[in-house]
Amino acid sequence: MTGFDGRGGPSDGPSRDPVERIFREEYGRLIASLVRRFGDIDIAEDAAGEALVTALEKWPESGVPPNPGAWLTTTAGNRAIDRLRREKLRESKHQAAEMMHDDTPHEPTGVITDDRLRLIFTCCHPALAPEARIALTLRLMGGLTVAEIASAFLVQETTMGQRITRAKAKIKGAKIPYRVPAAEDLPERIGAVLAVLLLIFNEGYLSNSDGDPIRADLTGEAIRLARILHELLPEDRETTGLLAMLLLTESRRAARVRHGELVPLDEQDRGGWDRALITEGHALVRECLAANRPGRYQILAAVNAVHTDAPSAADTDWSQVAALYDQLVRLDPSPIVALNRAVAIAELDGPEVALAQVDRLPLSGYHAWHATRADLFRRLGRSAEARQEYDAALACCDNTAEIAYLTRKRGELV
């Protein structure tokens, strides 16, 4: 687990459990509540950071309070009020600071009543570039470090830091309101929101940070928000598809790491998969198939449905998986989609055919590309080349469980 910096965001320092563990779990909820209340991201982050410092000072002696989330929210709110008063900001912000004492009913919050989901939609305002929307929401809602977000985007950390800073400045400079989008505005925001939830989930499912290789707090938060979004937009099939995909992927979590090492899909104990999540996910996929309006997340959900439907790895219908990726390539011709398609082609047409496809992809900085090439070389008996690719994969891999797996596979080469 990572630590946190003085501005309330996570840092790369050592963890001081249980305070920092609780803070990270509560971070998204805390920031969302503070932004809704005070209307300023910087104030929210600073107040959250000060609340963490106070918790680190008090909790080791007094003990963790019964409701640590409420304690952090109250403490951070008080710090924000102190700052507003101290800096003598404009009267409108003084009024915002007094909200904790205001007994009058709040104005209606619109179609979205969850603070965190409301902030996601706010950060996904059309005035922001798509990359900035996702990065800022991951920073504020997922509690991810700039380094973690940069890894998810396959860009340099400095580039991502500048992107987040510009996004926050844009919100302030353009006076983008912290309000719930009207129902008719939801469709134009949904694409970026779905991308945010997937990236939060992916960071939890194969974490790039120090500590646990799988972070159930992030996967659980992504699923929770996806459920809320699905309830709000039950007719949006891509929202349905994303929820189905997350559920089916999460169903395999318990079998994915053993003794600190990543267990690939074909080696997992399928008896350890969560059948309730699989049943729910399959039902959602059937809803998407019945609607017959395919999209990216629906297709990815269908791929996961094929895998979770097979009683064993040998029973996997790879022709169906390949056909689904063929369809996805037409909708999303990205190199990562092509890489995943090549894995299915290797099962159908052999590793040599797949390797020719993988070699054409511009993914030399992506560890999964090297790991895939290593596996294909291994299957072709080209051990020296496989060893080089395992080394390259290890050089750009951060997940501890995946590092353990790649190290073992490299050591098995003859």
The residue count of the chain comes to 414
Residues 199 and 240 in one domain: no
How do residues 231-242 score in pLDDT, each as one tens digit? 878 889 999 999
Residues 92 and 5 in one domain: yes
C-alpha 37/C-alpha 39 separation (Å) is 6
Residues 315 and 290 in one domain: no
- Summarize the confidence of residues 274-298 as an average pLDDT: 97
Highest-scoring range by mean pLDDT, 101-105, 106-110, 142-146, 376-380: 376-380
C-alpha 185/C-alpha 333 separation (Å) is 28
Residue 188, CB half-sphere, CA atoms under 13 Å: how many? 10
Q: For residue 206, give the nearest of 400, 409, 27 by alpha carbon.
A: 400
Q: Is residue 207 situated within a structural domain?
A: yes
Residue 103 scores a pLDDT above 50 = no
- Summarize the confidence of residues 343-355 as an average pLDDT: 98
CB of 389 closer than 8 Å to CB of 370: yes
pLDDT of residue 136: 87
- Summarize the confidence of residues 170-184 as an average pLDDT: 77
Which runs of consecutive H residues, i.e. helices, occur in 111-236? 115-123, 130-141, 146-153, 157-173, 186-205, 216-232
The neighbouring-strand residues paired with 258 are: 261
Q: Is residue 46 situated within a structural domain?
A: yes
**Reported confidence tier of residue 88, pLDDT bands at 50, 70, 90:** low
Q: Which residue has the higher pLDDT, 309 or 91?
A: 309
- Total tally of structural domains belonging to the chain: 4
Q: Which of 71, 103, 135 is the last residue of a domain?
A: 103
Q: Is residue 304 situated within a structural domain?
A: no
Residues 119 and 97 in one domain: no
Residue 174, CB half-sphere, CA atoms under 13 Å: how many? 15
Residues 326 and 367 in one domain: yes
Please tell me the pTM assigned to this model: 0.74
Range of the domain at 201: 111-213+226-233
Please report, in angstroms and rounded to a whole number, the separation of the first and last CA atoms in the chain. Answer: 36
Residues 162 and 179 in one domain: yes
What's the mean per-residue pLDDT of the chain?
85
Q: For residue 409, give the nearest of 365, 361, 377 by alpha carbon.
A: 377
Q: For residue 8, give the nearest of 79, 65, 113, 107 by alpha carbon.
A: 79
Residues 314 and 251 in one domain: no
Q: Is residue 221 situated within a structural domain?
A: no
- Summarize the confidence of residues 51-55 as an average pLDDT: 89
How do residues 295-336 score in pLDDT, each as one tens digit? 999 999 999 999 999 999 999 999 999 999 999 999 999 999
Whole-Å CA distances, 213 to 109, 200, 220, 274 = 37, 14, 15, 19
